[in-house]
Amino acid sequence: GLLSAFQIELANERKDIRRDNKTLSVNEKFTNFVNSVRERGRHYFGNDKNIHQGRKDWFTPELKEIIDKKAKAYVDWQLHRSTSNENKYRNRYRTLEKIVQNKVYARQHEYWEELSIGLENAAKVHDPTTAFQIIRRLRGNGQSRNHIPVQDKNDLTLTNSKDQLNRWKEYFDEMLNVDTTINKQVLQQIPNPTVDDEELSRQNAVSTLEEVVKAIEQIKNKKTPGKDDTPAEH
Protein backbone atom coordinates (compact mmCIF):
# COMPACT_ATOMS: atom_id res chain seq x y z
CA GLY A 1 0.00 0.00 0.00
CA LEU A 2 0.95 3.68 0.04
CA LEU A 3 2.10 3.56 3.66
CA SER A 4 4.41 0.58 3.09
CA ALA A 5 5.93 2.16 -0.01
CA PHE A 6 6.42 5.42 1.85
CA GLN A 7 8.16 3.65 4.74
CA ILE A 8 10.46 1.73 2.38
CA GLU A 9 11.50 4.85 0.52
CA LEU A 10 12.01 6.71 3.79
CA ALA A 11 14.32 3.97 5.05
CA ASN A 12 16.32 4.13 1.82
CA GLU A 13 16.54 7.90 2.16
CA ARG A 14 18.05 7.57 5.63
CA LYS A 15 20.67 5.17 4.29
CA ASP A 16 21.54 7.59 1.48
CA ILE A 17 21.94 10.45 3.93
CA ARG A 18 24.29 8.42 6.11
CA ARG A 19 26.35 7.30 3.13
CA ASP A 20 26.53 10.48 1.03
CA ASN A 21 26.51 13.26 3.61
CA LYS A 22 29.39 12.32 5.88
CA THR A 23 30.77 15.86 5.76
CA LEU A 24 27.47 17.51 6.77
CA SER A 25 26.65 18.53 10.30
CA VAL A 26 23.88 16.91 12.32
CA ASN A 27 21.59 19.92 11.79
CA GLU A 28 22.15 19.85 8.03
CA LYS A 29 21.42 16.14 7.88
CA PHE A 30 18.25 16.66 9.89
CA THR A 31 17.10 19.48 7.60
CA ASN A 32 17.69 17.35 4.51
CA PHE A 33 15.79 14.47 6.05
CA VAL A 34 12.80 16.66 7.03
CA ASN A 35 12.63 18.15 3.55
CA SER A 36 12.75 14.68 2.04
CA VAL A 37 9.91 13.47 4.29
CA ARG A 38 7.76 16.44 3.32
CA GLU A 39 8.42 16.02 -0.39
CA ARG A 40 7.67 12.31 -0.44
CA GLY A 41 4.68 12.76 1.86
CA ARG A 42 3.12 15.14 -0.64
CA HIS A 43 3.71 12.66 -3.47
CA TYR A 44 2.26 9.70 -1.59
CA PHE A 45 -0.54 11.23 0.44
CA GLY A 46 -1.17 14.67 -1.06
CA ASN A 47 -1.67 17.85 0.92
CA ASP A 48 -3.85 18.11 4.00
CA LYS A 49 -7.38 18.83 2.82
CA ASN A 50 -7.76 21.42 5.59
CA ILE A 51 -4.83 23.53 4.36
CA HIS A 52 -5.98 26.56 2.40
CA GLN A 53 -9.48 25.12 2.40
CA GLY A 54 -10.96 28.50 1.59
CA ARG A 55 -8.91 28.67 -1.61
CA LYS A 56 -9.99 25.30 -3.01
CA ASP A 57 -13.46 26.20 -4.24
CA TRP A 58 -12.35 25.22 -7.74
CA PHE A 59 -11.40 21.67 -6.69
CA THR A 60 -13.61 18.99 -8.28
CA PRO A 61 -13.98 15.19 -7.98
CA GLU A 62 -12.52 14.88 -11.47
CA LEU A 63 -9.33 16.63 -10.34
CA LYS A 64 -9.14 14.46 -7.24
CA GLU A 65 -9.40 11.32 -9.37
CA ILE A 66 -6.59 12.29 -11.75
CA ILE A 67 -4.39 13.50 -8.86
CA ASP A 68 -4.87 10.15 -7.11
CA LYS A 69 -3.80 8.41 -10.32
CA LYS A 70 -0.70 10.58 -10.47
CA ALA A 71 0.15 9.73 -6.85
CA LYS A 72 -0.21 6.01 -7.55
CA ALA A 73 1.94 6.35 -10.68
CA TYR A 74 4.65 7.99 -8.59
CA VAL A 75 4.55 5.11 -6.11
CA ASP A 76 4.81 2.58 -8.94
CA TRP A 77 7.78 4.47 -10.34
CA GLN A 78 9.59 4.47 -7.00
CA LEU A 79 8.90 0.78 -6.49
CA HIS A 80 10.47 -0.01 -9.88
CA ARG A 81 13.59 2.11 -9.51
CA SER A 82 16.74 0.45 -10.87
CA THR A 83 14.68 -2.15 -12.77
CA SER A 84 14.15 -2.75 -16.48
CA ASN A 85 10.67 -1.20 -16.22
CA GLU A 86 11.76 2.03 -14.53
CA ASN A 87 11.48 4.14 -17.71
CA LYS A 88 7.98 2.84 -18.37
CA TYR A 89 6.66 3.84 -14.94
CA ARG A 90 8.58 7.11 -14.89
CA ASN A 91 7.12 8.13 -18.27
CA ARG A 92 3.61 7.26 -17.10
CA TYR A 93 4.06 9.41 -14.00
CA ARG A 94 5.37 12.37 -15.99
CA THR A 95 2.50 12.07 -18.47
CA LEU A 96 -0.04 12.16 -15.65
CA GLU A 97 1.83 15.04 -14.04
CA LYS A 98 1.39 17.13 -17.20
CA ILE A 99 -2.28 16.15 -17.44
CA VAL A 100 -2.85 17.27 -13.84
CA GLN A 101 -1.14 20.60 -14.48
CA ASN A 102 -3.26 21.25 -17.57
CA LYS A 103 -6.52 20.26 -15.88
CA VAL A 104 -5.79 22.33 -12.77
CA TYR A 105 -4.98 25.36 -14.90
CA ALA A 106 -8.16 24.90 -16.98
CA ARG A 107 -10.34 24.47 -13.88
CA GLN A 108 -8.84 27.52 -12.18
CA HIS A 109 -9.49 29.57 -15.31
CA GLU A 110 -13.09 28.31 -15.41
CA TYR A 111 -13.50 29.12 -11.70
CA TRP A 112 -12.34 32.71 -12.14
CA GLU A 113 -14.73 33.07 -15.08
CA GLU A 114 -17.60 31.85 -12.89
CA LEU A 115 -16.72 34.34 -10.16
CA SER A 116 -16.43 37.18 -12.66
CA ILE A 117 -19.82 36.39 -14.20
CA GLY A 118 -21.37 36.04 -10.74
CA LEU A 119 -19.98 39.42 -9.69
CA GLU A 120 -21.22 41.05 -12.89
CA ASN A 121 -24.71 39.57 -12.51
CA ALA A 122 -24.89 40.62 -8.85
CA ALA A 123 -24.05 44.18 -9.86
CA LYS A 124 -26.70 44.17 -12.59
CA VAL A 125 -29.50 43.14 -10.21
CA HIS A 126 -28.23 45.39 -7.38
CA ASP A 127 -27.42 42.47 -5.06
CA PRO A 128 -24.62 43.83 -2.82
CA THR A 129 -24.67 40.82 -0.47
CA THR A 130 -23.72 38.36 -3.20
CA ALA A 131 -21.26 40.84 -4.70
CA PHE A 132 -19.39 41.29 -1.41
CA GLN A 133 -19.33 37.53 -0.80
CA ILE A 134 -17.65 37.03 -4.18
CA ILE A 135 -15.20 39.86 -3.50
CA ARG A 136 -14.23 38.30 -0.16
CA ARG A 137 -13.63 34.98 -1.92
CA LEU A 138 -11.47 36.73 -4.51
CA ARG A 139 -9.44 38.44 -1.79
CA GLY A 140 -9.14 35.25 0.23
CA ASN A 141 -10.20 36.91 3.49
CA GLY A 142 -11.94 34.32 5.59
CA GLN A 143 -13.48 31.01 4.70
CA SER A 144 -16.15 30.89 2.04
CA ARG A 145 -19.65 30.16 3.24
CA ASN A 146 -20.29 28.05 0.16
CA HIS A 147 -18.45 24.97 1.46
CA ILE A 148 -21.65 23.27 2.55
CA PRO A 149 -21.80 20.14 0.38
CA VAL A 150 -24.87 19.91 -1.85
CA GLN A 151 -25.96 16.48 -3.02
CA ASP A 152 -28.56 15.31 -5.49
CA LYS A 153 -31.21 12.69 -4.75
CA ASN A 154 -28.68 9.93 -5.40
CA ASP A 155 -26.28 11.34 -2.76
CA LEU A 156 -23.82 12.47 -5.43
CA THR A 157 -22.00 15.69 -4.55
CA LEU A 158 -22.70 18.59 -6.90
CA THR A 159 -19.69 20.80 -7.59
CA ASN A 160 -21.11 23.06 -10.28
CA SER A 161 -22.79 26.19 -8.89
CA LYS A 162 -25.64 26.01 -11.43
CA ASP A 163 -26.40 22.40 -10.51
CA GLN A 164 -26.34 23.35 -6.82
CA LEU A 165 -28.84 26.18 -7.35
CA ASN A 166 -31.14 23.88 -9.32
CA ARG A 167 -30.96 21.32 -6.52
CA TRP A 168 -31.90 23.94 -3.90
CA LYS A 169 -34.83 25.01 -6.08
CA GLU A 170 -35.95 21.41 -6.44
CA TYR A 171 -35.62 20.84 -2.68
CA PHE A 172 -37.74 23.84 -1.69
CA ASP A 173 -40.32 23.13 -4.39
CA GLU A 174 -40.83 19.64 -2.99
CA MET A 175 -40.85 20.84 0.62
CA LEU A 176 -43.20 23.83 0.21
CA ASN A 177 -45.41 22.80 -2.70
CA VAL A 178 -46.90 19.63 -1.27
CA ASP A 179 -49.72 18.06 -3.23
CA THR A 180 -52.74 17.66 -0.94
CA THR A 181 -56.18 16.18 -1.41
CA ILE A 182 -59.03 17.87 0.45
CA ASN A 183 -61.92 15.73 1.62
CA LYS A 184 -65.02 17.93 1.47
CA GLN A 185 -66.92 15.60 3.79
CA VAL A 186 -64.33 16.19 6.50
CA LEU A 187 -64.63 19.94 6.02
CA GLN A 188 -68.39 19.76 6.39
CA GLN A 189 -68.01 17.95 9.71
CA ILE A 190 -66.03 20.82 11.22
CA PRO A 191 -68.43 22.75 13.49
CA ASN A 192 -68.85 26.46 12.87
CA PRO A 193 -67.80 28.54 15.89
CA THR A 194 -70.52 30.57 17.52
CA VAL A 195 -70.05 34.14 18.73
CA ASP A 196 -72.30 35.53 21.42
CA ASP A 197 -73.93 38.92 21.06
CA GLU A 198 -71.56 40.65 23.50
CA GLU A 199 -68.41 39.51 21.63
CA LEU A 200 -69.98 40.32 18.27
CA SER A 201 -70.81 43.82 19.49
CA ARG A 202 -67.23 44.31 20.72
CA GLN A 203 -65.73 43.24 17.40
CA ASN A 204 -68.03 45.50 15.40
CA ALA A 205 -67.49 48.54 17.61
CA VAL A 206 -65.72 51.57 16.14
CA SER A 207 -62.14 51.96 17.41
CA THR A 208 -61.59 54.75 19.89
CA LEU A 209 -59.00 57.49 19.40
CA GLU A 210 -56.87 56.04 22.20
CA GLU A 211 -56.83 52.62 20.51
CA VAL A 212 -55.79 54.14 17.18
CA VAL A 213 -52.95 56.12 18.82
CA LYS A 214 -51.76 53.03 20.68
CA ALA A 215 -51.77 50.96 17.47
CA ILE A 216 -49.76 53.62 15.61
CA GLU A 217 -47.17 53.77 18.38
CA GLN A 218 -46.71 50.01 18.18
CA ILE A 219 -45.88 50.16 14.46
CA LYS A 220 -42.16 49.50 13.90
CA ASN A 221 -40.11 52.43 12.74
CA LYS A 222 -38.22 52.50 9.44
CA LYS A 223 -40.75 50.37 7.63
CA THR A 224 -40.80 50.58 3.86
CA PRO A 225 -43.44 53.06 2.65
CA GLY A 226 -46.19 52.07 0.25
CA LYS A 227 -46.52 52.84 -3.44
CA ASP A 228 -47.54 56.42 -2.62
CA ASP A 229 -44.30 56.87 -0.61
CA THR A 230 -46.36 57.40 2.54
CA PRO A 231 -45.27 55.44 5.64
CA ALA A 232 -47.94 53.29 7.29
CA GLU A 233 -47.93 55.38 10.50
CA HIS A 234 -49.04 58.45 8.53
Q: Which residue has the higher pLDDT, 58 or 23?
A: 58
- Other Cβ atoms within 10 Å of 134 Cβ, number: 22
Q: Does residue 66 contact residue 96 with C-beta atoms inside 8 Å?
A: yes
CA atoms in the 13 A half-sphere facing the CB of 78: 21
pLDDT for 224: 60
In tens, the pLDDT along 40-78 reads 666 666 555 444 444 467 788 888 899 889 988 888 888
pLDDT at 1: 55
- From CA 173, how far away is CA 167, in angstroms rounded? 10
* Mean pLDDT of the region 78-83: 85
Cα–Cα distance between 208 and 213 in angstroms, integer? 9
Domain spans, the chain: 2-140, 190-217
Distance CA 141, CA 56 (A): 13
**Backbone phi and psi for residue 158, each to the nearest 5 degrees, phi listed first:** -95, 125
User: Is the pLDDT assigned to residue 106 strictly greater than 80?
Assistant: yes
Rounded Cα–Cα distance for residues 140 and 182 (Å): 53
Return the top range by mean pLDDT from 34-38, 59-63, 142-146: 59-63
What residues pair up with 158 in beta bridges, in sequence order? 150
Mean per-residue pLDDT of the chain:
75
pLDDT digits (tens, 9 = 90+) for 187-199: 888 888 888 888 8
Phi, psi for residue 156 in degrees, rounded to 5: -95, 130
